[in-house]
Structure 1
Amino acid sequence: MPMIDMPLAELRQYQGTNPKPADFDAYWDRALMELRSVEPMVELVASDFQTPQAECFDMYYNGVRGARIHAKYLRPRDLGQPHPAVLLFHGYSGNAGDWSDKLSYVSLGYSVLAMDCRGQGGLSEDTGGVKGTTLNGHIVRGLDDHPDQLLFRQIFLDTAQLARVAFELPETDVSRVYATGGSQGGALTLACAALEPRIRKLAAVFPFLCDYKRVWEMDLAKDAYQELRTFFRYHDPLHEREEEMFTKLGYIDLQFLAERIRGEVLMLVGLMDTVCPPSTQFAAYNKMTAKKQLVIYPDYGHEHLPAANDKVMQFLLNP
């Protein structure tokens, strides 16, 4: 079998390369305390898109640092009883997508909440206000500022706030709130379940934002990770701050948040993935202590994985 990373036996044992900040747990405990002080102030605005089976709303809620976050919210009409909810997270630079591609879950009696990441392709606000570069990427945004200013810290907290909004909706069956997404969406799925452990099930497809130093050492700081190379070239050309930089990125490294997940996990990975290398994903998966299962596609990379959507849906549908 062709190989772009470690042999599978080594991947199953790999524990990551990126350094973990000594105060990692205190960092996220402080972040969650900040989130708890933010009243969501949820607003639902009926969308122009409606169907006989689904009520569709533009949802707005407050995130940290004064940002108003947008999500698409679809719920079954006239169900008459609390029902499950699925949180959907999109890929890097994208948005919540079309209304119509969420109707399969609604037809099964599930509500859907699909978040727009702040500062990317949707309607969520990006309130900015960081020192240092904002060029070419959200991973490095805030890297020259206090760690609390890292943009992905705020985005991770937005996912947890969305989950809390879902739990508070009267139509939600709070015992069946789920999360899923691919690439950045897979990363945000892990972040959401780590920061809101009431998420019962989560399905992450080739998650992004794991083990940054491993990406760098594999010479794969390109495509979605190009900003790591750009940061070094313009802001640390001699790599005098390399250890400091990767340690600070450790605060937003999903391999370390993965230990907080309590819901049941399904993860899908392609062993030929040169965008989010398999070892980086295994670094997160191997640290999970919750019930988990891994689906491996030996010949696939960062692309459509055959039957992946079916596997995710079946996983979320089964009790």
Structure 2
Amino acid sequence: MNKLYECQIEHLKDYRGIGEAPEDYDEYWERAKRDLEKASLDYELVNSDFVARSCEAYDLYFTGVGGARIHCQFLKPKNVKGKAPAIAMFHGYWSNCGEWSGKLQYIAEGFCVLAMDVRGQGGTSIDNGTYKGNTQSGHIIRGLEGDSPDDMFYRNVYLDTAQCVRILQSMEFVDKKNVFATGASQGGALAIACASLVDDLKGAVAIYPFLCDFRGIYQNNFICPSYEEITWYFRQRDPNHLTEDFFFERLGYIDLKNRTKDIKCNVLWMTALMDKVCPPFSQMAAYNNISSEKNIIFFPEYEHEYLLNSGDIILKYFIERLEAE
């Protein structure tokens, strides 16, 4: 590897981000998990018009925490014998769960696939939340000015990811010991959040995760559309930074650098070293706080884009984890 990139990796290997978790952080997430425990595992399946010879395809709906109606694509291999492993998939910021056909490589290997539309973004999930304060743009700060940090948008999205896995595990034809989570960018962040909330997840694969090291992003003067709402918050709501400590304390509840300490499963992480959307230092702040078994793969010449061979690497990871069973 190029010496320049070796130096960059060496510099980042011990970086754990800027700022501490809120004092009541653990209590906050225990309270959130109690809300998750109360959430129903009931779901509705509606036949999809997607046609493939290898699988049955459905639109799946469930009620998330706070009453949101969450939509997912659900694909099940035809003629499942015994119990099948399963994958929960999560998409990028502002996007949706994508094309049905993009999941068929997993169907061919006998996996069920559940791909979630994030509430209130580009898919058909419905977010019924009422948010106090800035809703001009972006979801990172949505609900931040509420009366309680429980009002924050991403708190419930994180809980949605765990509910997806629990729904998969409740299906009689799914092997609940072999359920994985994966995604890229925001989807990578949600796969990691899911792993932090589901103790018996088999494994998680995250490609350049979003939502890491908010104060580090700001203090390093990182300007990018994905994080610009942090700058815009101060420009529009608090130009003299009178509430800066409050602002970053609230973000600390959803910062992945604080969530990753709770991960118990195996994690595969991929980072593009030229990423200008989710910078490597922010990702490493979260990765370095994982204490479970983990591995990171660096792509030195790549930005926030498709990482060559990453699809092959992910499929191999899933299969090898099954073979290790």
**Contact 1:222–1:229 (Cα < 8 Å) also in 2:** no
Matched, 1:290 2:288: no
Q: Deviations over 1:11-45 (max 9, x none)?
A: 00111103311111110000010111121320000
Alignment-derived partner of residue 119 in structure 1: 120
With normalisation by structure 2, the TM-score equals 0.95
Amino acid at match of 1:29: E
Q: How far apart, CA to CA, are the structure 1 residues paired with 2:4 and 2:43?
A: 48
Alignment-derived partner of residue 131 in structure 2: 130
**Contact 1:221–1:228 (Cα < 8 Å) also in 2:** no
Shift of 1:212: 0.5
Matching residue within 215, 228, 246 for 1:226: 228
**Contact 2:68–2:129 (Cα < 8 Å) also in 1:** no
Alignment-derived partner of residue 211 in structure 1: 213
Misfit runs of 4+, over 6 Å: none
Matched, 1:90 2:91: yes
Q: 1:179 to 1:40 in 2, by over 3 A?
A: same
Matching residue within 174, 190, 193 for 2:192: 190
Q: How far apart, CA to CA, are the structure 1 residues paired with 2:30 and 2:221?
A: 33
Q: How far apart, CA to CA, are the structure 2 residues paired with 1:2 and 1:222?
A: 27
Amino acid at match of 1:32: K
Q: How far apart, CA to CA, are the structure 2 residues paired with 1:218 and 1:310?
A: 34
**Contact 1:3–1:272 (Cα < 8 Å) also in 2:** no
Q: How far apart, CA to CA, are the structure 1 residues paired with 2:12 and 2:210?
A: 16
Matched, 1:241 2:213: no
Q: How far apart, CA to CA, are the structure 2 residues paired with 1:232 and 1:2?
A: 38
Q: 1:2 to 1:303 in 2, by over 3 A?
A: farther
Matching residue within 252, 265, 276 for 1:274: 276
Q: How far apart, CA to CA, are the structure 1 residues paired with 2:4 and 2:155?
A: 33
Query: Which consecutive unaligned segments of at least 5 residues does structure 1 have?
Result: none
Q: How far apart, CA to CA, are the structure 2 residues paired with 1:2 and 1:219?
A: 26
**Contact 1:179–1:193 (Cα < 8 Å) also in 2:** yes
Matched, 1:49 2:63: no
Query: Which consecutive unaligned segments of at least 5 residues does structure 2 have?
Result: none
Matched, 1:313 2:315: yes
Shift of 1:128: 2.1
Q: How far apart, CA to CA, are the structure 2 residues paired with 1:30 and 1:280?
A: 27
Shift of 1:221: 3.5
Write the mapping of 1:55-204 to structure 2, written as runs, cut at 5 A: 55-145=56-146, 146-204=148-206
Alignment-derived partner of residue 14 in structure 1: 15
Q: How far apart, CA to CA, are the structure 2 residues paired with 1:34 and 1:218?
A: 35
**Contact 1:3–1:271 (Cα < 8 Å) also in 2:** no
Shift of 1:178: 0.4
Amino acid at match of 2:113: V
Q: 1:118 to 1:3 in 2, by over 3 A?
A: farther
Shift of 1:144: 0.7
Equivalent residues, number: 319
**Contact 1:181–1:204 (Cα < 8 Å) also in 2:** yes
- Larger mean Cα displacement after TM superposition, 216-225 or 154-163: 216-225
Q: Deviations over 1:238-259 (max 9, x none)?
A: 1111121111100000111111
- Larger mean Cα displacement after TM superposition, 299-308 or 258-267: 299-308
CA root-mean-square deviation: 1.5
Q: How far apart, CA to CA, are the structure 2 residues paired with 1:170 and 1:193?
A: 22
Shift of 1:135: 1.1
Q: 1:3 to 1:134 in 2, by over 3 A?
A: farther
Identity %: 42
Alignment-derived partner of residue 28 in structure 2: 27
